[in-house]
Amino acid sequence: MEGQPLIRTGDPARNFSLKDQNDATFDLFEHAGKGVLLSFHPLAWTPFCAGQMKSLEDNRDVLASLNTIAVGISVDSVPCKKAWAGNLGITQTPLLCDFWPHGHVAMMYGIFRDANGFSERANILIDEEQRVTFVKIYPVHSIPDIKEVIASLRQQKPA
């Protein structure tokens, strides 16, 4: 998987299964018929990543109204993500563990940072037909603007 190019708008989504903070399995293709926001973040327990994950939780209803669910993804383990979700008060948003094989999903999507051992900070939108409709990489020391993702979703949905 090493060295895969960055996934681009129009590409088919690449399926994966990962455990979330509650040890439940999330399989991307089981969510066909819904949009999915894959919100990659480098590491748990960091302020920018906390802000990014809280924005997913805070905008859960808006995303649901657009037939979209959001998941956070990082290389952290299930126990780490469980403790972090509890600390942040995240109860509804799956925080997925791309722990082993280390960074496998980030590598599949072309956003693994080999020099750091974690993913880029990125948002990737998958539509109901499991095609990529939005890809953006953000500076590591930033919080992605969830309004940008919501605006992209609204553009994709006919009024």
Q: Is residue 11 part of a domain?
A: no
List, in sequence order, every residue forming a beta bridge with 39; answer none if it has no partner: 72, 123
Q: At what angle do helices 47-58 and 78-88 cross, to 10 degrees?
A: 70
Report pLDDT for 158.
65
CATH number assigned to the domain comprising residue 142: 3.40.30.10
Residue 90: inside a domain, yes or no? yes
Domain membership of residue 120 (yes or no) is: yes
Which residues neighbour 83 within 8 Å (Cβ) at sequence distance 6 or greater? none
Residue 3 covered by a domain? no
- Residue 83 domain flag: yes
pTM here is: 0.95
pLDDT in tens, 79-130: 999 999 999 999 999 999 999 999 999 999 999 999 999 999 999 999 999 9
Calpha distance 32→59 (Å, rounded):
21
Q: Is residue 133 part of a domain?
A: yes
The contacts found for 33-36 with CB under 8 angstroms, 24 or more apart, are: 33/128, 34/67, 34/68, 34/69, 34/128, 35/66, 35/67, 35/68, 35/69, 35/125, 35/126, 35/127, 35/128, 35/133, 35/153, 36/68, 36/69, 36/70, 36/71, 36/125, 36/126
Calculate mean pLDDT across residues 24-41. 97
By residue range, what is the domain housing residue 44? 17-156
Q: What is the average pLDDT score of the chain?
A: 95
- Whether 7 is in a domain gets the answer no
Chain position carrying tokens 């109901």: 128
DSSP state of 7: P
**Is residue 8 situated within a structural domain?**
no
What tens digit of pLDDT does each residue of 144-157 get? Answer: 999 999 999 999 87
User: What is the number of structural domains in the chain?
Assistant: 1
Confidence of residue 5 (pLDDT cuts 50, 70, 90): confident
Over residues 2-9, mean pLDDT? 78
Q: How far apart are the first and last CA of the chain?
A: 39
The distance of Cα 152 from the centroid of its chain, to the nearest Å, equals 16
- DSSP E strands in 1-159: the ranges are 17-19, 25-27, 35-40, 68-74, 95-97, 112-113, 118-119, 121-126, 132-138
pLDDT band at 38 (very low <50, low <70, confident <90, very high): very high
